[in-house]
A and B are shown apart, each in its own frame.
Chain A
Amino acid sequence: MKSLKLVCFFALSVLSSVATTTIARAGDVVWWAPNWGEERARTLAQKFMAANPGTTVKIEITVSNGLPERVLTALRSGTGPDIIEVQHGWVNGYAQSGLILPLDDTIQDKQDYVPAAIDYVGWNGKLWAIPYRIETHGIIYNKDHFREAGLDPGKPPKTWDELTTAAKALTKNGRYGFGITGGGEVGNTLFRSLPFIWMNGGDIITADMTKAVVNSPEAVKAVEFYTNFYKQGLSPKSTLENDGLALRRLFIAGTVSAYQSGQFDLPAIQKENPNVKLGAMTIPAPAGKQTAAVLGGWSYVVPKSAKNPEEARKFLQFLNTTENQGYYTDTFPARMSSIKLPRFDDPMLKPFAEMLPYGRPVPVHKNWVKIVQAYFDGIQRILLGDQTAKESMDQANEEIQALLK
Chain B
Amino acid sequence: MRASASIAQSFRRPGLGWVATLLGSAVLVFICLFPFLWMGLSSIKQLNELYTIPPQWWPDHPTLANYYKVLFESRIPRYFLNSIVISVGSTGLALILAVFAANGFARFRFRGQSFWQACILVGQLLPTAAIIVPLFITLKVLGLVNTYWGLILVYMIITLPLSVWMLTSYFRAIPRELDEAAVIDGASRVGILFRIILPLSLPGIAAVLVYSFITTWNEFIFALCFATDSSVKTLPIGLAEFSTEFNTDWGAVMAASMVMTVPIALLFLVFQKFFVGGLTAGATKG
Contacts and interface: CB of A to CB of B under 8 A. Distances in A.
B241 A253 contact: no
Given A36-B244, A73-B225, A74-B225, A12 B143 contact: no
Given A19-B148, A64-B244, 10 more contacts: A34-B244, A36-B244, A65-B240, A65-B243, A70-B225, A73-B225, A74-B136, A77-B137, A79-B136, A268-B246
B246 A245 contact: yes
A77 B138 CA distance: 9
A111 to B, nearest CB: 29
Interface in A3-45: 5, 8-9, 11-12, 15-16, 19-22, 34-36
Contacts of B229: 22, 60
22 contacts: A1-B205, A8-B92, A12-B88, A16-B89, A16-B148, A22-B146, A22-B228, A22-B229, A22-B231, A35-B244, A60-B228, A63-B237, A64-B245, A69-B225, A70-B225, A77-B140, A244-B246, A253-B53, A264-B245, A272-B47, A273-B48, A330-B245
Contacts of A161: none
Contacts of B248: 245
Contact of A5 (B96, B132, B225, B240): B96
B133 to A, nearest CB: 5
A61 B148 contact: no
Contacts of B148: 15-16, 19
Nearest to B136: A77
Contacts of A8: 88-89, 92
Q: How many A residues touch the partner, as a band?
A: 35 or more
Interface string B197-240: 01100100100000000000000110011001101100001001
Contacts of B284: none
Contact of B147 (A5, A19, A66, A73): A19
Given A19-B147, A66-B220, A253-B53, A76 B133 contact: yes
Given A11-B88, A19-B147, A21-B146, A254 B53 contact: yes
B143 A73 contact: no
A253 B77 CA distance: 34
B145 interface: yes
A66 B92 contact: no
A280 B10 CA distance: 79
Select the residue from B53, B146, B246 with max chain A CB neighbours within 10 A.
B246
Contact of A66 (B53, B224, B245): B224
A119 B145 CA distance: 36
Contacts, number: 109
Contacts of A36: 244-245, 247
A58 B220 CA distance: 24
Contacts of B137: 77-79
A178 B199 CA distance: 66
A264 B47 CA distance: 17
Q: How many B residues touch the partner, as a band?
A: 35 or more
Contacts of B228: 22, 60
B85 A73 contact: no
B51 interface: yes
Interface string B30-58: 00000000000000000110011100000
Nearest to A72: B133
Contacts of B80: none
B147 A21 contact: yes
B92 A12 contact: yes
B170 interface: no
A340 B117 CA distance: 68
B241 A19 contact: no
B149 interface: yes
Nearest to A12: B89
A271 interface: yes
Contacts of B51: 249, 252-253
A74 B140 CA distance: 11
A15 B85 contact: yes
